[in-house]
Amino acid sequence: MKIEFIIPAYGRPNNLIMILGSLFSQTNPNFKVHVVADTKYDGFDWAISPFQHDDRLQVTVLGKRHNDWGHTPRNVGLDMATEEWVVLTGDDNYYAPIFVEEFLSVVDDKTGFVYCDMVHNGHNSNMYRPVMCKIKHGDIDMGNFMTRRDLVGDLRLKTDEFSADWLFIRDYLSHNSGVGVRKVHKWLYVHN
């Protein structure tokens, strides 16, 4: 069982190298990382170069810029996903080294959605605050949950909606109402 992290990327090579470093430092190696660049940008090759020889890294560069909060790159990543579990994240997020280990440890045959608590940057104020997450609008974020890929079906992020992450979660859970939801009660994710 593996987790596939789908990371949209554009214009922030320092952030990209940080999230890649946090993922490739996981204690459990059962993951894959798919970076989907919203077209190539300065510093992109530099950010992925330390990890490019790891066969768990896949890179896709889109031919044109979509500028839709990373939703189109995430949708492309979903269309290309091959692993049983997916995490749709952002290039400015970071993960504790035990994220994969902890998330996979709570999965059973009935599980379809797993989430954790997060540390949130108060909208670039440099004031990080811990959040005890619940599954509700404004209290869960793209990146602190994983879903079973086969249950996503043809559900995709709405590219014209800023809060497409919440709409995706809401629609996923309503389409899969009998799915087991598990929470890891630890701060394993930092959202910037």
Mean pLDDT of 44-52: 96
Residue 153 has pLDDT above 80, yes or no: yes
pLDDT of residue 83: 97
Comparing 49-63, 135-149, 174-188, which segment has the lowest mean pLDDT?
A: 135-149
- Residue 24 burial by CB count (10 A; 0-12/13-18/19+): exposed, middle or buried? middle
- What's the pLDDT at 126? 66
If you average pLDDT over residues 68-86, what whole number do you get?
A: 95
Predicted structure pTM score: 0.94
> Distance between CA atoms of 126 and 76, rounded to whole angstroms?
32
Lowest mean pLDDT among 22-26, 119-123, 168-172: 119-123
Average pLDDT of span 154-168: 83
Residue pair 146/103 in contact (Cβ under 8 Å)? The answer is: yes
Residues 6+ apart with CB under 8 A from 186: 96, 98, 102, 116, 117
Least confident residue range of 54-58, 127-131, 167-171, 178-182: 127-131
Kindly list the domain boundaries of the chain, sorted by start residue: 3-191
The pLDDT tens digits of the residues spanning 32-47 come to 999 999 999 999 999 9
What's the mean pLDDT in 94-107?
Answer: 97
Q: Give the model's pLDDT for residue 173.
A: 92
64 class by beta-carbon count within 10 Å (0-12 exposed, 13-18 middle, 19+ buried): exposed
Residue 138, pLDDT above cutoff 80: no
> At a CB cut-off of 8 Å and minimum separation 6, what does 17 contact?
46, 47, 48, 50
Read off the amino acid at residue 74: R
The average confidence (pLDDT) of the chain is: 91
Q: What number of other Cβ atoms are within 10 A of residue 169's Cβ? A: 21
Class of domain 3-191: alpha beta
On the question of pLDDT at 122 being above 70, the answer is: no
> Given this model, what pLDDT does residue 137 score?
84
As a whole number, mean pLDDT of residues 46-62 equals 97
